[in-house]
Structure 1
Amino acid sequence: MDAQGSVAARVVAATAVDAVLNKGRNLDDALAGAGIDKTNEADRAMVRALVFGTLRTQLRNQRVLDLLADRPFRRRDSLIAALISTGLYALADARRPDYAIVSTTVDAAAGLGKPHMRGVVNAILRRYLREQDSVLAEADEHMDAHWLHPDWLIERVRADWPDDWEALLDAGSRQAPMWLRVNLQRTDRDTWMEQLSASGAAKAATHPELDAALVLDQAVGVTQLPGFLSGQVSVQDAASQFAAPLLHAKPGMRVLDACAAPGGKATHILECCPDIAELVAVDQSLPRLERMQENLDRLGLRATITRGDAANPEGWWDGDPFDRILLDAPCSATGVIRRHPDIAFLRRPDDIQALATQQEMLLEQLWPLLKPGGRLLYSTCSVLREENDAVVTRMLSRTADAEVLDLVRAGGPKSALPAVCGLQLLPGVGDGDTDGFYYALMARKLMA
C-alpha cells in the first residue's frame, strides 16, 4: 500500500469515527457516509480495521488525548480529535512502523480540510510515543479506559453477573471470531472443511454442540469461502445458531419469525426443517427484508416475507395461528459490542427500560398468534437481565396459559449460564467464544 493510499484510508476512517462519536450515526451508515465504497480494496480493509479498532479502544484513546492535548478540542475540530484517535489506535496496534503511522496521520489532517492542524496532530502523537507508558498507566486508572466500556454499562454488567463481569467486559473489547454455518442440505461439514483447507483462505474448527457451526482462525471475505455464492455456507455466530434447534420446528408446521430480517435464523430454521408448511418472516425495514430475500435466493429457500410491525399483528396476520414463533426481540445489543463497537457510544442508560417495555409489548401481542400446545422462543443479544429474565418473568405472571420450558432438556447450550426463565450465553465465559445471547422457551398450555 502506498503512502497516499494510507492517507486516503485515514481520512475516511476519521470521518466515520467522528460520525459515530459526534453525530450519533450507526457504524454501517457512518462508513457509507464517509465514502468507504469509493476506496480501493486495500484501503477498504484498512478503513474497517482502523474504524473498528479505534471505536473498541476509544474510551482509552479519549483519556489519553485529554492528557496529551494542551486544551480540549473545540466541537468544530472533532474530526481532528477522531483522526488522532485513529493514530493512537494504530500506534498501539503496531502493525506498521511508528514513523509511517505518524506521517500518514499528520498528512490526513490536510485531507480533512484542516491543514493548519497538522502540527497539533504531529505534536500529540510524538508526545504519546515519548510518554506512552506513563500516559497509559494514568488513563488506565479510569474504569471506562481500563474496561473499554462506558461506566453505566460496567456497573450494570457487574451487578447482573458478579462472578463473570470481568471476563465478559474483556471479551467485549476484543475482535469477535468469524463463525460460519454450513448448509447441511447442500453439503456436510467435513466435506466443506476440506474445501476450505484446499482453498488456503483460512483454517476452521468445529463447535462441540452445533453440527453445522465452524469458527475460522481469521476473518475472510465471504467471496473467499468455498461455495458461499451457491449457498453451501453462511456467516452466523454460534450463539444465534442455537435458535433453530431450540425452536424445534417439525414437518407440516407453520412458523413465524418476528423481527426476522436479515434472515440468519429464518434460513437456519428452513435448513433444519425444509418440510415445514410455511415460514412467515415479518420485519419493518424494507432494506433489511431485501437483504433477507437475497439470502433466501442464495440458499435456494422460500419464505413468506411480510413487511409489518410485529407489535401490530392486525396489520399483517391472516388469522391462521402458528405452531412455532421465534421472537428475536430488538434489544440493547450489549452482547455483540465486540462486533458492533458503535453500540458503546450510541446506547444510553435510559434506553434499557424503553427496550424492555417494547419487548414486553411484542410478547403480549404475539402470544395470541400461537396455537395451544405451540412454542414461542424468546431471544435477545443482550447480556442485561432487565431485557431478558425480567421481561419473561413479567409476561408469565400475567399470562395464564403460558409456561416456561426447561431449555437444558430442550438441548440448550451447555456453556450457557442458568437464568430464572432461560439460559444466558456470555462472551468470554464458558466454551465456544460466542456472542452474548439469551434464550427462553415458552409453551402455550392446553386450557380446559
Structure 2
Amino acid sequence: MQNNATKLSSRALAAQIILQVLDQGKSLSTVLPEVHSHINIKDQSLIQEMTFGICRVLPRLESIVKLLVEKPLKGKTRLVHCLLLVGLYQLLYMRVPSHAAVDEVVNATKVLKLDSFRGLVNGVLRRFLREQADILAKVDKHWQTLHPEWLVNKLKKSYPHWREIIDANNQRPPMWIRVNSQFSSVESYAVALDGVAEYLHSSQIPPCALYLNQPQAVSSLPNFAKGWATVQDAHAQWAALLLDVSNGDKVLDACAAPGGKTTHILELAPKANVIALDIEQARLKRVAENLSRLGQDAKIICGDASQPNQWLEDDEMFDRILLDAPCSATGVIRRHPDIKWLRKESDIDELVQLQAKILTALWQRLKPNGVLLYATCSILPEENSLQIKRFLEKTQDAMLVEMDFGGEKVFEKQFFPSEKGGDGFFYAKLVKKVD
C-alpha cells in the first residue's frame, strides 16, 4: 500500500488502513508510520484523525451501515464497507462540509478501482444526510459501550465503576509530558509553555508530570530536542520513581521500547548501569533515538525477556529490574482505540502465562535485597493483582513491599484512565528476601 500512497486520497488511504486493522489484525501504530513516510504533514493528521476516530466509535458506525446497506459487504467488497465508515465518520465527527465529505469519499472509489460501487457509496451517504435524525434515533436508542462484549463483561465482573472506565476509554487521550529535573523544575517549564500546561497536585500525579490543555507538536515544546522534556503518560511516570535506582546500580529495563522509562531511570540516576531490553529490533530504534536525544547511555539488547540465559552472562545479576510486562493494553484504549478490535478474549490467558514465565525467569537474575517492579498498562485483575498473588504463593523469597504515591501508601496500585488523569496502569513492588 505504501508504494502508491502518494497517488491515493487521504480518504482512500484511511479506508485501506481500517481494512488492515479490522480484517488483517494490524495495529494503527504499525500501519500509520508506513503510510506517513509517503505523504505530507496535513494528510498525516487527517488520516490519523479518521482512523483513530473510526476505531473509537466503530460499533456506532457499523450500526448505521447495517441500516443503510441491504446486503453486508463481504470479501472483496469489504474495502467499500471501510470507505463508508470513513464517509460516515467525517459527516458525524469532523468539521468537513457535508457536500465536500461525500464528494471526496465518492471520488475515492475511482482511485481504489471500485468504480462500480460509486453509486452505492454516493447513495448511502446522501441517504444518511437526508434521514440522519431518524437513523441516529434508532442507533442511539440505548447507551453504547463502543467496546467488544467480552471486555465489557470482564470489566462488569471486576469493577463496580465499570461504566466510568468505559466512558473514559471512549474519550480522546490527554497529553502529558515529563520534565527533566536535570534541566528545569516543573514549575519553570510550565511557565515556559505559556498557559498551555497545568501542574496538577494529586497523589495520582507524579511530581515530574505536566498536563497539557491541548496536544502540542513536540517541536513546540521548549528545548525538547535538548532533552528538557519527554512525552509520557502521567501514570507511566511512576515506574522510575518507584524503582528508586541509585548511581552505580545495575538495572534491567525489560520490555523497554520505546524507552520512556529507560530515559527516566537515567534522568534520576545518570550513573546507573542500565540494560534496555526488548524482543522487537524495530522498536529498539526508538529507544536508541530517545537515549540520544537526552544524551544518555544504556546497553541496548534485542532479546526474549522470558529467556535471559540467551542474552546474559551466567553470573550477571541486577540490583533493580523493571518488568513492564507484555499485556492486553486495556488501560490505554483511549490512546490506542484499535486495541478494542485487535485484542481477543483468548489472548488474555496467553498473556497471563507469558507474564508468569517472564516474572519467574527474571526473578532468578535479581540480587538478594534487590527490587523488581512489576508493571502493566492493563486494568484486568488476572494480569495484575491475581498474577502477583500467584507469584507470591509459589516464590518463597519474594516479598511485596509498600509503595508511596504522593502520600498514598499501598502494596499494590491499580490506576484507571480518567479525564485530566493518566492511563490505566498497575504497579507492584517485590523485594528478594535474604535467608
Please say whether Structure 1 and Structure 2 have the same fold, judged by a TM-score greater than 0.5.
Answer: yes
- Whether the aligned pair in 1 keeps the contact of 2:236 and 2:425 (CA below 8 Å) is yes
> Where does residue 154 of structure 1 map in the other structure?
152
Deviation by residue 1:132-156 (Cα, 9 ceiling, x = unmatched):
233233334577xx11111111111
Shift of 1:28: 2.4
> Where does residue 73 of structure 2 map in the other structure?
73
Query: How far, CA to CA, are the matches of 2:218 and 2:63 in structure 1?
Result: 36
Residue 383 of structure 1: SS of its match in structure 2? coil
> Where does residue 290 of structure 1 map in the other structure?
285
Query: How far, CA to CA, are the matches of 2:106 and 2:22 in structure 1?
Result: 21
> Where does residue 294 of structure 2 map in the other structure?
299
In the alignment, structure 1 residue 281 sits paired with structure 2 residue 282: no
- Whether the aligned pair in 2 keeps the contact of 1:178 and 1:219 (CA below 8 Å) is yes
Q: 1:412 to 1:82 in 2, by over 3 A?
A: farther
- Whether the aligned pair in 2 keeps the contact of 1:404 and 1:441 (CA below 8 Å) is yes
Residue 335 of structure 2: SS of its match in structure 1? coil
Deviation by residue 1:401-429 (Cα, 9 ceiling, x = unmatched):
1111122xx33685x9x7xx61101112x
Mapping 1:409-428, distance limit 5 Å: 410-411=404-405, 414=408, 422-428=412-418
Mapping 1:89-238, distance limit 5 Å: 89-140=89-140, 146-162=144-160, 164-197=161-194, 203-208=196-201, 209-238=205-234
Query: How far, CA to CA, are the matches of 1:413 and 1:63 in structure 2?
Result: 47
Residue 369 of structure 2: SS of its match in structure 1? strand
In the alignment, structure 1 residue 353 sits paired with structure 2 residue 349: yes
In the alignment, structure 1 residue 53 sits paired with structure 2 residue 56: no
Shift of 1:342: 1.4
Shift of 1:195: 2.7
* Aligned pair partner of 2:378 in 359, 377, 382: 382
Deviates more, 1:186-195 or 1:340-349: 186-195
Query: How far, CA to CA, are the matches of 2:405 and 2:371 in structure 1?
Result: 15
Residue 375 of structure 1: SS of its match in structure 2? strand
Shift of 1:287: 1.4
> Where does residue 18 of structure 1 map in the other structure?
19
- Structure 2 unaligned blocks of 5 or more: 1-5
Q: Report percent identity of matched pairs.
A: 41
- Whether the aligned pair in 2 keeps the contact of 1:258 and 1:283 (CA below 8 Å) is yes
Deviation by residue 1:316-341 (Cα, 9 ceiling, x = unmatched):
22323211110000000011111111
- Whether the aligned pair in 2 keeps the contact of 1:183 and 1:233 (CA below 8 Å) is yes
The one-letter amino acid of 1:195's match is A
Shift of 1:188: 2.2
- Whether the aligned pair in 1 keeps the contact of 2:206 and 2:406 (CA below 8 Å) is no
- Whether the aligned pair in 2 keeps the contact of 1:389 and 1:422 (CA below 8 Å) is yes
The one-letter amino acid of 1:187's match is S
Deviation by residue 1:275-322 (Cα, 9 ceiling, x = unmatched):
33x111111111111210111010011111122111111112232321
The one-letter amino acid of 2:337's match is P
Query: How far, CA to CA, are the matches of 2:407 and 2:297 in structure 1?
Result: 28
- Whether the aligned pair in 2 keeps the contact of 1:17 and 1:30 (CA below 8 Å) is no
- Whether the aligned pair in 2 keeps the contact of 1:246 and 1:412 (CA below 8 Å) is no
- Structure 1 unaligned blocks of 5 or more: none
Residue 131 of structure 2: SS of its match in structure 1? helix
Query: How far, CA to CA, are the matches of 2:290 and 2:407 in structure 1?
Result: 26
Residue 350 of structure 1: SS of its match in structure 2? helix
Which aligned segments of 4 or more residues in structure 1 are displaced greater than 4 angstroms? none
Deviation by residue 1:165-201 (Cα, 9 ceiling, x = unmatched):
111111111110111111111222233223322xxxx
Query: How far, CA to CA, are the matches of 2:406 and 2:239 in structure 1?
Result: 9
Shift of 1:31: 2.3
Query: How far, CA to CA, are the matches of 1:41 and 1:412 in structure 2?
Result: 40
